[in-house]
Structure 1
């Protein structure tokens, strides 16, 4: 009986792991409409699906303890935010489950100027991801709120692809 239980646990662990591999930890996919958005930036600005319509949007899920996030953020600042911020575009950093004080310090350390929000309980993150998924994710929405790109971790080729998609989408009428 004990052996059957161990085999069952191993099978379920492998099944869960392989499912996450194929989805990269997302429960949404390219082509889906964005889940409901209703949160505030750290400056108090309200963000909803409705007030993002007409903009290309990047939602960057991050955290101060994440080394890959720290590696990616200077690239997001320079190659995405500074390049597109004067277009119909917004990049929103969304810190996962940290205090406002910690997030302010994190933003200062990373020298980023794009807007930030705090997902204090993780519900916004979990509207896009499977349970226990890791951060360092960029979700790109077109002007109609449809998901057009999903990234996981920071990889230069994928990051360049994201920039190309943002640029091409901004050029569409």
Structure 2
């Protein structure tokens, strides 16, 4: 009986891992509407699903302790924010569970100019991801609020594909 329990446990763990590698830690998928968004930027500007309507949106989940995030942020700044910021587009860095003081230092350290909000309790992050998912994620929404692209970690090919998708979505008018 103990052996059977061990085998079942191992199978369950393997199946759970396989599911997480397929969805890359997301509980949402391309084509889904965005879960509810309710944040304030560091300047207190409120951000909601309604305020994002009509804009192609990238939510970049990040944290100051995340080395991959730090590696990706200059690319987001130059290849995404600087390129598209004057269009119907917004890139929002969403810092996970850190203090405003820590986030301000992080912004200075990374030299980003795109707007940043803090997901104080991680509830927004949790609405997109499975339990214990890692940061370094970009979620791209179309002007209607539908998810059109999801990234995980920083991969040059995937990043370039994201930029292409943003560009194509903005060209739709």
TM-score scaled by length of structure 1: 0.97
Give 1:54's aligned residue: 54
Between the aligned partners of 1:171 and 1:23, the Cα distance in structure 2 is 28
Give 2:115's aligned residue: 115
- RMSD of the alignment, in Å? 0.9
Q: Deviations over 1:81-125 (max 9, x none)?
A: 000000000000001111111111111100001000111111000
Give 1:170's aligned residue: 170
SS in 1 for 2:94: strand
Tell whether 2:80 aligns with 1:80: yes
Between the aligned partners of 1:90 and 1:38, the Cα distance in structure 2 is 15
Q: Deviations over 1:26-64 (max 9, x none)?
A: 111101111111111111000011111000000000111
SS in 2 for 1:95: strand
Give 1:134's aligned residue: 134
Between the aligned partners of 1:14 and 1:95, the Cα distance in structure 2 is 31
**Cα shift at 1:21:** 0.5
Between the aligned partners of 2:116 and 2:96, the Cα distance in structure 1 is 11
Between the aligned partners of 2:90 and 2:84, the Cα distance in structure 1 is 8
Long gaps (5+) in structure 1: none
Q: How many residues end up aligned between the 2 structures? A: 173
Give 1:14's aligned residue: 14
Between the aligned partners of 1:122 and 1:83, the Cα distance in structure 2 is 29
Question: Relative to structure 2, which stretch is displaced further, 137-146 or 5-14?
Answer: 5-14
Long gaps (5+) in structure 2: none
Mapping 1:149-164, distance limit 5 Å: 149-164=149-164
TM-score scaled by length of structure 2: 0.97
Question: Relative to structure 2, which stretch is displaced further, 7-16 or 100-109?
Answer: 7-16
